Structure 1
Amino acid sequence: MKGVLYRDVHESQWNQLLQLQANVRDYVGVIGLTVVVDEAEGYAYLRSRPDLEDEDGPAIPRLIPRRALSFHVSLLLALLRKKLIEFDASGGDTKLVLTREQIVEMMRVFLPEGSNEVRLVDQIDSHIGKVVELGFLRRIKDTDGHYEVRRIIKAFVDGQWLAEFDQRLAEYAVELRGDDHEET
């Protein structure tokens, strides 16, 4: 009940879940959860049932906490999701593997330039660590700085999330330009 169940990591539990899917849905439904199974991508997770929330908030206490993400972590998630879209469009392998350097270069474009390159890379490393902790990236063992982008990112960073994030980025850019170019 904690975290994501992956077909390639938890093979026996995955097979049990598929066999007992209806029973699991009934069981977790009693406590206000629903099980999401994506057989094509090979993952499953629990989510709070949205139909149990009313306009004043959740009708029952949330068992799965919501996490507020920092701007930089949200940015990294959006960049990784877009990279996964490009990767899937090109066909080929099923696992997107990025190096630490590739991730740093993706993020560098969006961060202010400074004189301290080491500090900037350290900050990006901390953002990568948070995304690993959230389960959207996985460090590949026996490699130096290689990460697999986990497909679960598709369930959480969907088109609506990306559109909302793009809107917030545009508002942020207007706000920054407004401070620099106020001439009225």
Structure 2
Amino acid sequence: MLARLLVEPLYREDGALWETLRAERETVAHYFRQLGQELVIDEGEGYAFLRQIEPEGGERVPRVGRRQPLGYTATLLLVCLREELARFDAAPGDSTRLVLTRPQIRELAGQFLRESNNQVRDIRALDTALRRIEELGFVRAFGAAESDTFEVMRILKARFGPAELEDVKQKLIRHAAERGA
């Protein structure tokens, strides 16, 4: 369980791992605190992940993992999915899972991408970005592999809170303006 948390979030659906984490919450939190990581568990949404502790006063704590920039298309896709998740949560319904098909995801992000004359390249770029955010655990394949359907993971809400979301949106707007100029 400890090694898995270093790599990816844990979810309620992980069954025994989730229950072990809940039972050993304090021990696990103490262990990761020694590594400069904060254990974040959201019981209501059903996920847990690690966040780098940022100490006060400019003290540097070595990072356990490397930060890797996502790139414009992947960031845009995350912002679109985060806003879609907010709309989904605000709408009345029985389902707690936001499930989208690949074409729906392409359409969400495609409306914010500049038109080009190479549609195949554009689709390939969106699919590459989708694979990247799937590797990072923000979406998960849902149903049969050939169905091309993805569940938007709720951890996206924790990683992109309202303030961070607005900040990223402003950066995307500036970046788009620079590209268009």
Task: Specify the alignment match of 1:7 in structure 2.
Answer: 12
Task: Specify the alignment match of 1:20 in structure 2.
Answer: 24
Task: Specify the alignment match of 2:77 in structure 1.
Answer: 76
1:1-184 matches, cutoff 5 A: 1=5, 2-8=7-13, 10-51=14-55, 54-55=57-58, 59-92=60-93, 93-142=95-144, 143-175=146-178, 179=181
Q: Structure 2 CA distance, aligned partners of 1:48 and 1:91?
A: 35
Query: Going by fraction, where is helix more abundant, 1 or 2?
Result: 2
CA contact (8 A) 2:8 2:136 kept: no
Q: Which runs of 5+ in 1 are unaligned?
A: 180-184
Q: Aligned in 2, Cα 1:171/1:117: closer, same or farther, shift over 3 Å? A: closer
1:176, CA displacement in angstroms? 5.4
Q: Aligned in 2, Cα 1:131/1:18: closer, same or farther, shift over 3 Å? A: same
Structure 1 residue ranges (4+ consecutive) displaced by more than 6 angstroms after TM superposition:
none
Aligned length: 174
1:139, CA displacement in angstroms? 1.1
Task: Specify the alignment match of 1:182 in structure 2.
Answer: none
Name the Cα RMSD after superposition.
1.8
Q: Structure 2 CA distance, aligned partners of 1:48 and 1:114?
A: 39
- State the identity as a percent: 37
Deviates more, 1:75-84 or 1:99-108: 99-108
Q: Structure 2 CA distance, aligned partners of 1:59 and 1:87?
A: 39
Q: Structure 1 CA distance, aligned partners of 2:114 and 2:177?
A: 16
1:118, CA displacement in angstroms? 2.2
Q: Structure 1 CA distance, aligned partners of 2:46 and 2:133?
A: 20
Q: Which has the larger radius of gyration?
A: 1
1:78-101 CA distance string (max 9 Å, x none): 000000000000032100000111
1:64, CA displacement in angstroms? 3.0
Q: Which runs of 5+ in 2 are unaligned?
A: none
CA contact (8 A) 1:104 1:121 kept: yes
Q: Aligned in 2, Cα 1:154/1:116: closer, same or farther, shift over 3 Å? A: same
1:54, CA displacement in angstroms? 4.3
1:130-174 CA distance string (max 9 Å, x none): 111111011124152111001111111111211112221333355
